[in-house]
Amino acid sequence: MGHGDEIVLADVNFPSSSICRGGPEEIRTDGLGIPQLLEAVLQLLPLDTYVESPAVVIELIPSDRKRGLLTPVWASYQSILSKAGYEGSLGMVERFAFYERAKKAFAVVATGETALYGNLIFKKGVLAPEDLCQAC
C-alpha cells in the first residue's frame, strides 16, 4: 500500500462484497467497530497531508438531513483523527460517489460497525524515514 492509496472502513450496511467484486481486497473484521479499527490503523499508517480531505464519510441524503438524523459516530472519528494529528474536518461525499470511490480503494475492511452513516474512507500518507526504522 503506497502514498495516496485509500482504505474503506465499512459499516454492516455497506455492500462490501459487491464493491470488492473485481476490485479492492475485502478484509473481514465483523466483530470490530470502526472507531477502534481507525485508532489502530492510524498508529501504523499516517493520513495524507497533501490533500484537502484525507478522511471522508457519506453525506446525509436529503431525507435524512430533513428529518434531523444524527451521526454521533462522526464526532468519534473526528476525535480520533485529531489525536492522530489531523486538524481538518471530515470530508463529505455523495453516497453513490462514495461507492464509486470505494471501488478504486486498495481495500475494503468490512466491520461490525452498526452506526448509521458509519462508513469512512481514508487516504494513506507518506511514512517518514524515522517511522520506517523504529525497529532498526
Active-site residue, from 11, 50, 86, 99: 99
Q: Is 77 a catalytic residue?
A: no
CB proximity list for 110: less than 8 A, separation 6 or greater: 10, 14, 16, 17, 26, 27, 28, 29, 30
How far is 40 from 71, CA to CA, in rounded Å? 22
Question: Per the residue annotation, which of 48, 77, 86, 117 is the catalytic one?
Answer: 48
Point out the residues that are catalytic: 3, 48, 99
